[in-house]
A and B are shown apart, each in its own frame.
Chain A
Amino acid sequence: MAKFSKKKVNRRKVEASGEGPEQVVRDPGEQHEGLNEADGHVSEEQEEDEEEEQEDEEEEEDGGGDKDERRRQKLLEAINALGGKRQKKLGERSEAAVLMSEFTINAEGEGERVDLSDLIGTVEKNRAVPAKTRKQLKNLQQSKRTVECPLSKQETERIQRDVSFQKAASEVSRWKGIIRQNQRAEQLVFPLNQEPAGPKPMERVVSGWKAQTPLEQEVFALLTANKQPVHDPILTPTEEASLRAMSLEEAKIRRAELQKARVLQSYYEAKARRERKIKSKKYHKVHNKAKRKEFLKQFDEMVKTDPATALEELDKMQTARMQERMSLKHQNSGKWARSKALLAKYDEDARKAMQQQLEVNKELTQKLVTSLNNEQEEEEEEEEEAGHPELMPDFVNDAERGLDSSNPWMRGKLSEEPTESERCGSLDLTEEALLREFDQRRKLRQVQEADTGPVLSVDDDEGMVEEDEAAAEEEEQLSEFTSLFQEMANSRRDVMAEQAEAAPDTSVQLEEGRRRICTVEDVELLSQEEVAPDEAPVQPQLPPATENMLSAPQKTGKNRKRKRGIELKEVLTTEAKVLRIPLAPTVEDTEESDGKLDQRGLIKEAFAGDDIISDFLRDKRNQEDAGKPKVVDLTLPGWGEWGGGGVKPSRNKRRRFRVKTAPPPPRKDQHLPTVIISEKRNSSISLHQVNSLPFPFESHTQFQSTVRSPMGRTWNTERMVKKITKPKVVTQLGAIIKPMAREELMKDASNNSSVDSLRRKH
């Protein structure tokens, strides 16, 4: 028994095949055709819906013919089989009818077979079937391939499962939009499909409501006659039209514009009225003059921007001039002028008045200069002006440079390096000399770097360790700096004695001179950046180190600087003396290093410019300074004594109101020269602080900003607080929350489509 889909088309064919057998007898060729056609049809459908077939299996064709017909069919089959043509037997599936007996489906006509020809026999006759399918069917008829044997049960089941899973998955995926939306929603109110509370309009509650009582009818008649609204949106057609014409926002904007215009107008009117009331002639004169001037200015601009109006204005002005020339208004020929002329001899004011009038006349009769000429002139002027500044700077600079070179005071601003290069130039320019020079400088730097202790270990580790140990011991013993220095001075000698062999003594200097050198260097570095005079106190320390190498001119230069520095030295503490302590051994070092100069030294030389260590030291110093308590002067002049300009509060008072804070506890990095430990970290607070960026946040600033914005009523308006503190999930007390229903999906789809259509509109 052939299986077929329950599609209407096929159904129709089954019906049509009622008279099938006779047809088959009449024309066997046609039957074959039909059969093959049907075959093709079925295979197509199999592709389309495999899973549907399952159901179709169960569905049985109920129209079983009578027994005679069946017999005839069998006979025909037998005849066909004799014909030698092997007919493909369609795979027969399990019979479900036995299982489904409950459905009152009988298994009658089980052995019967519906030929595909029966089903598709009408195709040829049917005009509605396109020619293309007919052709396909014909082709299929001609092909003689055997049908592949069906897959194994496991395989087919697996395929079925896979297909049905895909279907279910795609079905379920429709919810994706809603799920996303709900996950992102700021607030979800459960139960979901809640109807808004409150009274509903009549139309929504009752569908077919009509006015029944005579009063109601009368009222409605009136309403309809006057085109008044009957249903819920209580708006007349005109109101609706106006609503449609302009949105609320547009209307608001327009209203605001109009308001502004009105305000401006009234303001100008008031101003004009006020000005008109002023009687002073002088005021008006000045006013008019100013106006005229302004107008001229405007006119110039107008020529550029709007030539048409400018021409009009020009015409106006010319007509005014013509009128003036024609009239005798300002010609000293009027009555007033004549009277003034009489007085002019004695009265200065009168003379002035006459003068002014003449001036006015002159002004008015003067011919206007065309703006084009003006512009050209202006341009020329500009060119001239521009020419000068270009020349200027070089000239000025040259002069300054000249000054620089000649005047030692001015030269202070220049950095060290050029002078050094000069020095080099003054020396023999041999390599040896250069190297020696470099060496010295290296030594010098080592002295400076010595402060940082371990960092220097590049040079020599053993010596370093020893030195560190020695230093540590000393530090344990001594608490104060002064004593430390004395001790160090002693120890230095000892260490020197120890290190008589090969160990470089750089680290000795390091430990001994730590504080001192550090301070000096800081000052030096600062001076390099800042102003020249500051450099002066620093320089004096350098010469001793390089003494033997430096030539006479340099020395003089240094001396000069030192002289200058003496004044500033007063600023420095007396401890400056100690500075020289580490410098003595450097001379010895130079001798050693002569031989030892190698690649490393050269590299060091190459990176001589960036002095990380001193930078670090400076930083540390700055931090230390920042941590030190500052004296706060709270003295106010005038309280309890005489006040006024130039009166200073008395010393006594100043002493009383100067607040000294207690020194902070010693820094943690006090004894760690190479480390800066921030004192800002407060352990008691850090207990409450977040020490790593929490998950959803991507940056510290993001997290900080969320924490920083307050939410409470103290800082926000009531409405804002409500908005901020809106809970994410709201449930109603005592309401059953049902699982999401399919209607939500529909709602979402309709929403989306409406949104889409809106977008398309815009």
Chain B
Amino acid sequence: MKVKVLSRNPDDYVRETKLDIQRVPRNYDPTLHPFEVNREYTRALNATKLERVFAKPFLASLDGHKDGVNCMAKHAKSLSKLLSGSCDGELKVWDLTKHECVRTLQAHEGFVRGIVVRFCGTSFFTAGDDKTIKQWKMESPGYGEEEEPLNTILGKTVFTGLDHHQKDGVFATCGQQVDIWDEQRSSPIRSFTWGVDSFSAVRFNPVETELLASCASDRSIVLYDMRESAPLKKVIMTMRSNTVCWNPMEAYYFTCSNEDYNLYTYDMRFLDRPITVHMDHVSAVLDVDYSPTGKEFVSASFDKTIRIFPKDGGRSREVYHTKRMQHVICVKWSADNKFILSGSDEMNIRLWKANAAEKLGVLTPREKVAVNYSQKLKEKFQHHPQIRRIAHHRHLPKSIFHQTKELRVMKEARRRKERNVRKHSRPGAVPVVSEKEKHVVTVVK
């Protein structure tokens, strides 16, 4: 009698090495796997919860400044270098991997108003309250050498901002006017004025490198072309803008941080209304910086928090704060899109993760797959109320929490009043003004 037995080829189920994943034969027939939505929902819920569990964005605090940190600059070629200038004129160069200061120099008397690293990364410029612009070597001086600037330019007025061209030896300062300087010359090759007595910030467009934007004290943002003799255009808003930042990937978008607690993203071609109004801060926004991918930006505020906004989102996706962090004056997004640096009033520079729950370091392939999957799950179920609640929940300091509430009430009251006025006046007499249009006063050609 022939006896038949089940026989299987061990190749089908035995893994070759111990490191391999166990081979799991699968039948993808959907009838065999019911409740897929329910199961994925649970997974998504768990992923969201875990994300919140692992959300620990604060990495390090760099202390050493003897006064509030007023400005910072990323190194153009090295990720681990950071320059920071404080209100007492001191400039420090930091090693971010070791969390330590590698060089300190007294750059100016009074505030260091602006620092910018040359595109080649070999030298950097500083501008200060002592009406000087100084160029320094990136390398620290050798033993016995004096710490001296390569170049010093004595200006007629105080400089409040500084930025360098992406490719050429040209930089721009702002103060009473916006000046374009050649590195080789002691006087500006061009200066722009447009009936304004002071500017607070100037930035080169990193993509269309000849364009500039600046914030003026008359509540306006002015655009320039370096090649032209006159400014291009300006938009006057209801309140003053503090800083402006161009999107590094999308040539015509820039975002400005405003005193009215909001940030505005503009298309430079259409200045009559911002593309997006970013709301969430409860005090003046002092600084803004785009992520190098151009998808998000980070903003620093007087309300002692920093927030991360998607470039086209009206609300922030993240808020960072610590008990000891005071008014945040400057903020930078690191060039590898992983970290955020914030300098604040209480003399510290803080290093944060850009994605709060991200695992740093090299991920194994399996980890990568899992991370991607959970990310997609969260995205897929983001509209479900439970998941949304968990994902959006952030702990806030009491004062900010209450102020947010208060602002909401105020806004609602204003809205209600407007509605009532409209209701009781002749139709068309009180037009509906959208949130975007509210904040722009005029566009001056």
Interaction A to B: yes
How many chain B residues touch A (Cβ–Cβ < 8 Å)? 56
Question: Across the interface, do B445 and A173 meet the contact criterion of CB distance under 8 Å?
Answer: no
Chain B residues in 8 Å Cβ range of A168:
208, 211, 223, 225, 228, 232, 268
Contact with B along A151-188 (1 / 0, CB 8 A): 00000011011101101110111010001001000001
Question: Across the interface, do B28 and A708 meet the contact criterion of CB distance under 8 Å?
Answer: no
Contact with B along A54-79 (1 / 0, CB 8 A): 10000000000000000000000000
Closest to B41 in A: A688
**Interface residue ranges of A694-741 to B (CB < 8 Å):** 694, 703, 706-708, 710-717, 721-722, 724-727, 729, 731-741
With A688-B41, A716-B28, A727-B375 already in contact, the answer to whether A54 and B223 are too (CB < 8 A) is no
CB distance from A176 to the nearest CB of B (A): 8
Q: Which of B30-38, B152-160, B420-428 has 4 or more CB atoms under 8 Å from chain A?
A: B30-38
Question: Across the interface, do A727 and B229 meet the contact criterion of CB distance under 8 Å?
Answer: no
Q: Is B357 an interface residue (CB 8 A)?
A: no
- Identify A179's interface contact among B26, B250, B383, CB under 8 A: B250
Closest to B360 in A: A733
Chain A residues in 8 Å Cβ range of B251:
172, 175, 179, 740
Q: How many A-B residue pairs have CB under 8 A?
A: 158
**Interface residue ranges of A733-758 to B (CB < 8 Å):** 733-742
Chain A residues in 8 Å Cβ range of B252:
169, 172-173, 175, 179
CB distance from A190 to the nearest CB of B (A): 5
Chain B residues in 8 Å Cβ range of A711:
40, 373, 376-377, 380
- Please, how many angstroms separate the alpha-carbon atoms of A169 and B338 in the complex? 32
Question: Across the interface, do B269 and A169 meet the contact criterion of CB distance under 8 Å?
Answer: yes
Q: Is B144 an interface residue (CB 8 A)?
A: no
Q: Is A51 an interface residue (CB 8 A)?
A: yes
Q: Is A102 an interface residue (CB 8 A)?
A: yes
Contact with A along B322-359 (1 / 0, CB 8 A): 00000000000001111000000000000000000000
Q: Is B50 an interface residue (CB 8 A)?
A: no
Question: Across the interface, do B43 and A734 meet the contact criterion of CB distance under 8 Å?
Answer: no
Chain B residues in 8 Å Cβ range of A179:
249-252
CB distance from A407 to the nearest CB of B (A): 53
Closest to A731 in B: B337
With A54-B229, A714-B33 already in contact, the answer to whether A726 and B372 are too (CB < 8 A) is yes
Chain B residues in 8 Å Cβ range of A162:
445
Closest to A694 in B: B383
- Please, how many angstroms separate the alpha-carbon atoms of A722 and B369 in the complex? 8
Chain A residues in 8 Å Cβ range of B223:
165, 168
CB distance from B116 to the nearest CB of A (A): 14
- Identify B293's interface contact among A687, A722, A729, CB under 8 A: A729
- Identify A157's interface contact among B43, B230, B293, B383, CB under 8 A: B230
Q: Is B295 an interface residue (CB 8 A)?
A: yes
Chain B residues in 8 Å Cβ range of A716:
28
- Please, how many angstroms separate the alpha-carbon atoms of A66 and B224 in the complex? 42
Q: Is A690 an interface residue (CB 8 A)?
A: yes
- Identify A690's interface contact among B30, B294, B384, CB under 8 A: B384
Closest to B270 in A: A169
- Please, how many angstroms separate the alpha-carbon atoms of A188 and B337 in the complex? 13
Chain A residues in 8 Å Cβ range of B77:
736
With A165-B232, A688-B385 already in contact, the answer to whether A725 and B336 are too (CB < 8 A) is no
CB distance from B288 to the nearest CB of A (A): 16
Q: Is A548 an interface residue (CB 8 A)?
A: no
Q: Is B231 an interface residue (CB 8 A)?
A: yes
Question: Across the interface, do B37 and A164 meet the contact criterion of CB distance under 8 Å?
Answer: no
**Interface residue ranges of A544-572 to B (CB < 8 Å):** none
Question: Across the interface, do A707 and B232 meet the contact criterion of CB distance under 8 Å?
Answer: no
Q: Is A661 an interface residue (CB 8 A)?
A: no
Closest to B383 in A: A694
CB distance from A689 to the nearest CB of B (A): 7
**Interface residue ranges of B208-225 to A (CB < 8 Å):** 208, 211, 223, 225
CB distance from B212 to the nearest CB of A (A): 10
- Please, how many angstroms separate the alpha-carbon atoms of A731 and B375 in the complex? 15
Question: Across the interface, do A731 and B185 meet the contact criterion of CB distance under 8 Å?
Answer: no
Q: Is A238 an interface residue (CB 8 A)?
A: no
Question: Across the interface, do B375 and A190 meet the contact criterion of CB distance under 8 Å?
Answer: no
Chain B residues in 8 Å Cβ range of A736:
77, 79, 292, 335-336
With A711-B376, A717-B28, A733-B336 already in contact, the answer to whether A173 and B269 are too (CB < 8 A) is yes
Question: Across the interface, do B206 and A102 meet the contact criterion of CB distance under 8 Å?
Answer: no
Q: Is A373 an interface residue (CB 8 A)?
A: no
Q: Is A691 an interface residue (CB 8 A)?
A: yes
Question: Across the interface, do A740 and B248 meet the contact criterion of CB distance under 8 Å?
Answer: yes
With A172-B211, A731-B337, A740-B207 already in contact, the answer to whether A724 and B376 are too (CB < 8 A) is yes
Chain A residues in 8 Å Cβ range of B362:
733
CB distance from B21 to the nearest CB of A (A): 10
Question: Across the interface, do B228 and A51 meet the contact criterion of CB distance under 8 Å?
Answer: yes
Closest to B381 in A: A707
Most central of A168, A169, A694, A715 by chain B CB within 10 Å: A168
Chain A residues in 8 Å Cβ range of B28:
715-717
- Identify B228's interface contact among A164, A173, A706, A721, CB under 8 A: A164
- Please, how many angstroms separate the alpha-carbon atoms of A259 and B126 in the complex? 76
Question: Across the interface, do A172 and B208 meet the contact criterion of CB distance under 8 Å?
Answer: yes
CB distance from B15 to the nearest CB of A (A): 15
Interface residues of B (CB under 8 A from A): 26, 28, 30, 33, 36-37, 39-41, 43, 77, 79, 166, 185, 187, 206-208, 211, 223, 225, 228-233, 248-252, 268-269, 292-295, 335-338, 362, 369, 372-373, 375-377, 380-381, 383-386, 445
22 A/B residue pairs, CB under 8 Å, sorted by A: A54-B229, A160-B228, A168-B228, A168-B232, A172-B211, A182-B249, A190-B337, A687-B385, A687-B386, A688-B385, A688-B386, A689-B385, A690-B385, A707-B37, A711-B373, A712-B43, A716-B28, A725-B372, A727-B375, A736-B335, A737-B293, A741-B207
Interface residues of A (CB under 8 A from B): 51, 54, 102, 157-158, 160-162, 164-165, 167-169, 171-173, 175, 179, 182, 188, 190, 687-691, 694, 703, 706-708, 710-717, 721-722, 724-727, 729, 731-742
